[in-house]
């Protein structure tokens, strides 16, 4: 029998002054039912928090 690893994929969120929506965005990603995910959050030197 072949052992096929579960595929992993990446989600990248790039933000700039997105404090007002960032928490909802992160919660949306981490609440997904597929858990083999690499989540990368990149901030472009925001000034809002």
Residue 3 falls within a domain, yes or no? Answer: no
Confidence check: pLDDT of 3 > 80: yes
Residue 35 neighbours by CB under 8 Å, 6+ apart: none
Write out the two tokens for 27. 């919660």
The predicted model scores a pTM of 0.75
- Per-residue confidence (pLDDT) for residue 46, from 0 to 100: 94
Residue 4 falls within a domain, yes or no? Answer: no
- Per-residue confidence (pLDDT) for residue 5, from 0 to 100: 85
Residue 25 falls within a domain, yes or no? Answer: yes
CB 15 within 8 Å of CB 22: yes
Domain around 39: 9-43
Alpha helices in the chain (DSSP H): 19-30
Confidence check: pLDDT of 26 > 80: yes
Q: Average pLDDT of 39-47?
A: 95
Number of domains composing the chain: 1
| Percentage, residues of the chain above pLDDT 70 | 98
CB 3 within 8 Å of CB 31: no
Residue 20 falls within a domain, yes or no? Answer: yes
């Amino acid at each position: 029998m072949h052992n096929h690893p579960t595929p992993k994929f990446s989600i990248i969120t790039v933000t700039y002054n997105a404090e007002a929506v960032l928490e909802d965005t992160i919660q949306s990603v981490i609440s997904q039912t597929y858990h083999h995910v690499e989540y990368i959050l990149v901030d472009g030197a925001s000034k809002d928090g």
